Chain A
Amino acid sequence: DQQVKQNSPSLSVQEGRISILNCDYTNSMFDYFLWYKKYPAEGPTFLISISSIKDKNEDGRFTVFLNKSAKHLSLHIVPSQPGDSAVYFCAAIIQGAQKLVFGQGTRLTINP
């Protein structure tokens, strides 16, 4: 049972445009969400997070939006840069618990 789903395995975006990565979850108990970025042959690195008490969190070019009623979150990258080409994972957790649940990942390619 996949509790966190990233339905797009890959996404290709022109440099300078907006990249939008999507993530859906099924467990309504999840109340904290994170995005990770992963380059080949490296471990994932934390990008941005959001608590369920907010519907938006911004950090520079990265913004995460949370729609609790739809059980959906998205990561917006504006403007997209070639260095943003990586695999992006969303993850969810019930606050106070110990275990993150990860989605399958979306491979983002930024074309010059």
Chain B
Amino acid sequence: NAGVTQTPKFRILKIGQSMTLQCTQDMNHNYMYWYRQDPGMGLKLIYYSVGAGITDKGEVPNGYNVSRSTTEDFPLRLELAAPSQTSVYFCASRNRGRSYEQYFGPGTRLTVT
């Protein structure tokens, strides 16, 4: 199992550009999550999904969009990138049930200049 994979690893965007961060998991997990981590801060939830076709906002959803057309994939779309979106983005997944352990991808480091 590859677990949770994220692409790209690094990206530099100009202000106003758009991009999609890819996330794929091969563990057949129902739940998937997108977080951002700013320096010295914890993980802030952007969006999450409890299954294909179902998504919901987290703590910091503004400026982002998601879709979940399959169990495996949960892409995060940035429209009109702003410097405030400079961060490290982590995708995670977990199975339904009483284990709340989330499995994280390696992250995407995004810089908006």
Contact = CB atoms under 8 A, between A and B. Distances in A.
Interface of A: 4, 6, 9, 32, 34, 41-46, 49, 89, 93, 95, 98-100, 102-105
A49 B100 contact: yes
B28 to A, nearest CB: 17
- Taking each of A43, A44, A95, A104, which has the highest tally of chain B beta carbons within 10 Å of its own beta carbon? A43
Q: DSSP class of A's interface residues: helix, strand, loop or mixed? A: loop
B104 A43 contact: yes
Interface stretch (B13-21, B35-43, B64-72): B35-43
A56 to B, nearest CB: 18
A88 to B, nearest CB: 11
A34 B104 CA distance: 14
Nearest to B101: A46
